[in-house]
Amino acid sequence: MSALSIEHLSIGLPKGADRAFAVEDISFAIEKGEILCVVGESGSGKSMTANALMGLLPPGVTVKSGRAMFEARDILRLPEAEKQALRGERIAMIFQEPMTALNPLMRIGEQIAEVFAAHDRFSQQERRDKALNLIREVGLPDPEKIIRAYPFQLSGGQRQRAMIAMALALEPKLLIADEPTTALDVTTQAQILKLILDLRERHGMAVMFITHDFGVVAEIADQVIVMREGRVVERGSAASVLTDPQHDYTRRLLDAIPTGKLPPARAPRDVPALEIKGLRKVYRTGGGFFRPVREVRAVDDVSLTVGRGEVLGLVGESGSGKSTLGRTAVRLVTPDGGQVLVGGTDLAALSEEELRRQRHKVQMVFQDPYASLNPRQRIMGALTDGPITKGVPKAQAQARAKELLEIVGLGADAASRFPHEFSGGQRQRIGIARALAMDPELIIADEAVSALDVSIQAQVLDLLRDLRERFDLSILFITHDLRVAAQLCDRIAVMQKGKLVEIGTVHDIFLNPQQDYTRQLLAAVPGADWAKAGAA
């Protein structure tokens, strides 16, 4: 018998939502000890399905029809008290954001022991001992210390481990994991995925694993279902879905995924667009009356060159200093030492006033499409402010803005609209047009596609590839995702803890990495083996 079997489930959205159903007539089953990956982009209804199973649907969202059989009961129709008894004991859940999923004012030990308290199990002392054991089991260091720690004292990966400890506390039969590794760095993600696989092995629970990332699917899934706009479009074993997708949408998603397929190598360029020499930036926090100063070397003596017409990928995990380096290169951050040479001018040495006149030389495409455009300014203003300040006549700047909007695929009439009328991907196109409007010598793209769904990501990457051919752009492409870097870049630079670890052509980095850390990163990329197999 299946651990969980969902039959013809439909979940209704409140009136005024963009569609009537979050999920519509879906059916699937998870067998005991099996990992089922539910894959889909945002809005596919995958999270709603999980929330419905837990009885945690937001107000206004209701189960319209269908049933979910678990231990011979329809858990969608249970009275609230029985649902509550089920939660945490028979079905447990972990969430995407480990930073906010723990109560900031409560010790980790207490939060784990609370699961036992909620279900009235064990004495105080037993609860503590069991919490300690769980902390050990999920591989957290120094359990005696962790049990007394507050969430803010733990890293993201450690918090996710603590969440998993809570979920395991009562040996649930089903674990629902809602994008549990999306917010984590790749190496941490790899560890957490391994932990989940280990625990499944040891405890034999069924896992419903929600993700948008086919790489993750390749790592852990036994079975896969693909969801789109509330419907299941494809299902099957992981192997068959990954290698022989039947549905067009699945195929598009798989194609959109940056694989290890490396672009043909280009001849290196000699003329530098950007030269960074011995760049240093130290962040000091604290310091004051009673507090000692803490120093973080965000960028520690880094030198690199981006050739004219070249795309250099800058890859690293969070805290590696890659973003600081990018922001220093445009002088949004003033470095503590070193040079940033663009067309022979050292941006790092300019005064505020001189800098303003030189700003146009380096432009940036930002990460968050919702924060990078002023909600109260029309698109035309965003695209012409810079050129007009630079001295371009207004009419000419406006004509150019319309032309650029056409080029990035939005149409000239986008100019008179406000940002909220556009989707995330469209906004990112506007951001690219804004950077191009300044005719920069170098564009810095800071995680420019990270916030987008896979299929949109692919479209924006296509646009960037197309633009670089057309305008011979020089781009410093900052990303945490090696797969994305491989798609677009000529060379890749790897950073770790403020230092430049390795720099080389994409082929060198992927096929013949010189440094341990680079090898570690490559190994951590989810689905690396599968991708390699695909590339071969």
Partner 1 sequence: MWKRFSSNIGAMIGVVLLLAVILIAIFAPLLFSHTPWQMVQRPFLTPFTMDGLPLGTDTLGRDVASQLAYGARVSLLVGLVSTLVALLIGVPLGALAGFYGNWVDEGAMRFTEFFQTIPNFALAIVLVAIFEPTLISITIAIAIVSWPPVARLVRAEVMSVRKREFVDAARLAGLSRPRILMTQVLPNTVSPIIVMASLMVATAILLESSLSFLGLGDPNAMSWGYMIGAARTVIRSAWWLSFFPGIAIVLTVLALNLIGEGLNDALNPHLSRKGKA
Partner 2 sequence: MSILTTILSRAFKAFVTLLAIAVLNFCLLHAAPGDPAVVLAGEAGAADEQMIEQLRERFGLDQPFHVQLGKYVGSVLTLDLGYSFRQGAPVAQLIAERLPATLLLTLTAFVISLVLGIAFGVAASARVGKASDSLLTTLALLFYATPLYWAALMAVLVFSVWLGWLPGFGYETVGAGYTGFARAFDIAKHLVLPALTLGLFFMAVYMRMTRASMLEVSQLDFVKTAKAKGLSGPAIRRRHILRNAILPVVTLAGLQAGQLVGGAVLTETVFAWPGIGRLMFESLAARDYNTILGVFLVSAAMVILFNIVTDIVYRLVDPRIGAKA
Residues that bind partner 2 (CB under 8 A): 54, 56, 84-89, 92-93, 95, 97, 100-106, 114-115, 118-119, 150, 152-153, 163, 166-167, 286, 289-291
What phi and psi values does residue 435 have, to the nearest 5 degrees?
-65, -40
Query: What is the rounded (10 degree) CA torsion for 481, 487, 489, 492?
Result: 40
Sign of the dihedral defined by the CA atoms of residues 480, 484, 489, 492, in that order: positive
Q: How far apart are CA 503 and CA 522, in angstroms?
A: 14
Strands (E), 368-409: none
Indicate which single residue of 128, 247, 390, 507 sits in contact with partner 1 (rule: CB under 8 A). 390
Indicate which single residue of 159, 281, 360, 400 sits in contact with partner 1 (rule: CB under 8 A). 360
Closest approach of partner 2 to the CB of residue 104, in Å: 7
Q: Which 3 state secondary structure label does DSSP give 473?
A: coil
Indicate which of partner 1, partner 2, none lies near residue 367 (CB less than 5 to 8 Å, by partner kind).
partner 1
User: Would you state the structure tokens that stand for residue 459, as one six-digit string?
Assistant: 């479209």
Indicate which of partner 2, partner 1, none lies near residue 103 (CB less than 5 to 8 Å, by partner kind).
partner 2
Indicate which of partner 1, partner 2, none lies near residue 56 (CB less than 5 to 8 Å, by partner kind).
partner 2
Pick out residues in 310-339 that bind partner 1 (CB under 8 A): 327, 330, 332
Query: Do residues 436 and 471 touch, judged by C-beta distance below 8 A?
Result: yes
Indicate which of partner 2, partner 1, none lies near residue 372 (CB less than 5 to 8 Å, by partner kind).
partner 1
Pick out residues in 426-445 that bind partner 1 (CB under 8 A): 431, 434, 438
Q: Which stretch binds partner 1 (CB under 8 A): 150-158, 255-263, 316-324, 355-363?
A: 355-363
Closest approach of partner 1 to the CB of residue 389, in Å: 5
CA atoms lying within 13 Å on the CB side of residue 496 = 14
Indicate which of partner 2, partner 1, none lies near residue 150 (CB less than 5 to 8 Å, by partner kind).
partner 2
Contact partners, residue 398, CB within 8 Å, separation at least 6 = 380, 384, 415
Helices and strands: H and E segment counts in the chain: 20, 20
Indicate which single residue of 77, 202, 251, 356 sits in contact with partner 1 (rule: CB under 8 A). 356
Q: What region, left, alpha or beta, does residue 122 occupy, with left being phi > 0 and alpha being psi -120 to 50 degrees? A: left
Place of tokens 């693909």: 226
Interaction between residue 51 and partner 1 (CB under 8 A) = no
Indicate which of partner 1, partner 2, none lies near residue 336 (CB less than 5 to 8 Å, by partner kind).
none
Query: Do residues 245 and 214 touch, judged by C-beta distance below 8 A?
Result: no
* DSSP summary character for residue 110: H
Q: Which stretch binds partner 1 (CB under 8 A): 129-137, 202-210, 361-369, 474-482?
A: 361-369
Distance of CA 45 to the CA centre of its chain: 19
Which is closer to partner 2, CB of 50 or CB of 257?
50
Q: What region, left, alpha or beta, does residue 33 occupy, with left being phi > 0 and alpha being psi -120 to 50 degrees? A: left
Interaction between residue 364 and partner 1 (CB under 8 A) = yes
Indicate which of partner 2, partner 1, none lies near residue 102 (CB less than 5 to 8 Å, by partner kind).
partner 2
Which chain residues interact with partner 1 by CB under 8 A? Answer: 58-60, 327, 330, 332, 356-357, 359-360, 362-364, 366-368, 371-377, 382, 385-386, 389-390, 431, 434, 438
